[in-house]
Copies of this chain bind each other. A is one copy, B any other.
Amino acid sequence: MILREIASLISGALEGDGSIEISGVQGIKDAGEGDITFIGSNKYLNYLHDCSASAVITAERIETSLSQIIVAQPELAFARLISEFYPEPLAKPGIHSSVVVGENVKLGDNISLAAGVSIGDGVVIGDGVVLHANVVVGNNCIIGDHSILHPNVTLYRNSQLGQRVILHSGVVIGADGFGYTVDEVGRHFKINQVGRVVIEDYVEIGANSCVDRAAFNTTLIKEGTKIDNLVQVAHNCTVGEHSILVSQVGLAGSVKLGHHVVLAGQVGVGDHVTLGDQVTLTARSGAFRDVESNAVVSGFPVVPNTQWKREIASLPKLPDLIKQVRKLEARLDAME
């Protein structure tokens, strides 16, 4: 593809030689001859000196000998080019002879069911769905059009996926919520979990993450939310639209998240806690009370991020502070 075509593709303003041949897309540290790269923020500008890329995407005109394409969101344009140059490989179409299909199953058009896939009764599979090897789909599940389930994913019964959902290997959707009560002699008595999981369109869930089905009603992951690997979403949670849950996050039962919430790595949220819209919890923080919309909070239990920074800067001074106070007390004793 030549640079002029790329500029047109990403609706950018071309500066420089539009006839250059572009053969690849790369990050600025590794881009070479024939590659197009991008500048996401000014701190990457120095890398341009040593960069032998053929062109760069940028938000505003920069001093460089490279040809440039100016767009409002360089990283977004760059991501689109990656999809253009390196599209996800297509799965083999068709249904492998080893696939097991239950009764009353509806299969869409142009689906790909790989070896070892097992589908229960009453399942509905949309058009263009890809089930990779050894995926197991429980009874009465619904899988929306163009969703992709990677190898060894399990859907328990009644789980419902929207369109273009991506589930990575080892994901478990709809396992029993962790609910017990105590019987007359102190043993845990299982509370049957009779709800389900609903995952809306464009959700992606990382490897080995778990979303449990509700005790009653629905555990819900709303449209466009992205969940990383090894995340736990307990029964009866609602995760709002376009949220981000980074790896090893854990949500206890009945947590409610607003839209555009960001939970960084290893965060925990206690049961029945509600986080408002656009709340951010920084890495390794833990909330067991509600957090209002737009707050950025840190620590455990969480406090406003600015306060937490003061606390972690103060804590190393505590051992000496104790000594200092003891000395002050002695001086005061002596004076009195």
Q: Which residues in A have some Cβ–Cβ distance to B below 8 Å?
A: 26-27, 30, 72-73, 75-76, 78-80, 82-83, 86-89, 96, 98, 100, 114-116, 118, 132-134, 136, 139, 150-152, 154, 156-157, 166, 168-170, 172, 175-176, 178, 180-184, 186-192, 194, 202, 204, 206-208, 210, 212, 215-217, 224, 226, 228-230, 232, 234, 242, 244, 246-248, 250, 252, 260, 265-266, 268, 270, 283-284, 286, 288, 300-301, 303, 307, 310-319, 321-322, 324-325, 328-329, 331-332, 335-336
Q: Give min CB distance, A231 to chain B, whole Å.
A: 8
Cβ-defined contact, A268 with B266, below 8 A: yes
Q: Bound state CA distance, A217 and B30, in angstroms?
A: 9
Check A172–B170 contact: CB distance below 8 A.
yes
Contacts of A329 in B (CB 8 A): 324, 328
> A190 to B204, Cβ gap below 8 A?
yes
Interface centre among A83, A215, A250 (most CB of B within 10 A): A250
Can you list 8 pairs linking A and B with CB atoms under 8 Å apart?
A116-B134, A206-B210, A208-B210, A230-B232, A232-B247, A246-B252, A248-B248, A335-B335
Q: Is B168 a contact of A176 with CB atoms below 8 Å?
A: yes
Given contact pairs A187-B202, A260-B186, A265-B250, A151 touches B154 in the complex (Cβ within 8 A): yes
Q: A303: which B residues are within 8 A, CB to CB?
A: 316
Q: Are B311 and A316 in contact (CB under 8 A)?
A: yes
B226-A250 in contact (CB<8A): no
Residues of B within 8 A of A88 (CB): 192
Chain B: CB-nearest residue to A259: B186
Q: Which residue of B lies closest to A333 (CB)?
A: B331
Assess the A224–B188 pair: CB atoms within 8 A. Answer: yes
Q: How far is the CA of A292 from the CA of B259 in the complex (A)?
A: 39
CB neighbours (8 Å) of A30 from chain B are 216-217
A-B pairs with the 6 shortest C-beta distances?
A136-B151, A154-B169, A118-B133, A172-B207, A100-B115, A86-B194
Inter-chain CA distance A315–B132, complex, in Å, is 50
Partner of A286, one of B187, B206, B284: B284
Q: Please give, as numbers and ranges, the residues of chain B lying within 8 Å of A252 by CB-CB distance.
A: 246-247, 265, 283
Distance, CA A230 to CA B98, complexed state (A): 30
Choice from B100, B134, B204, B210 contacting A229 with Cβ under 8 Å: B210
Could you tell me if A170 and B98 are in contact, using CB atoms closer than 8 angstroms?
no
- Tell me which of B139, B180, B268, B310 contacts A89 (CB under 8 A): B139
Contact B210 A232 (CB under 8 A): no
CA distance A86 to B208 in the complex (A): 29
Residue among A79, A180, A202, A247 with max Cβ neighbours from chain B (10 Å): A247
Are A321's CB and B331's CB within 8 A? no
Q: How far is the CB of A297 from chain B (nearest CB, A)?
A: 13
* Contact present for A26 and B168 (CB under 8 Å): no
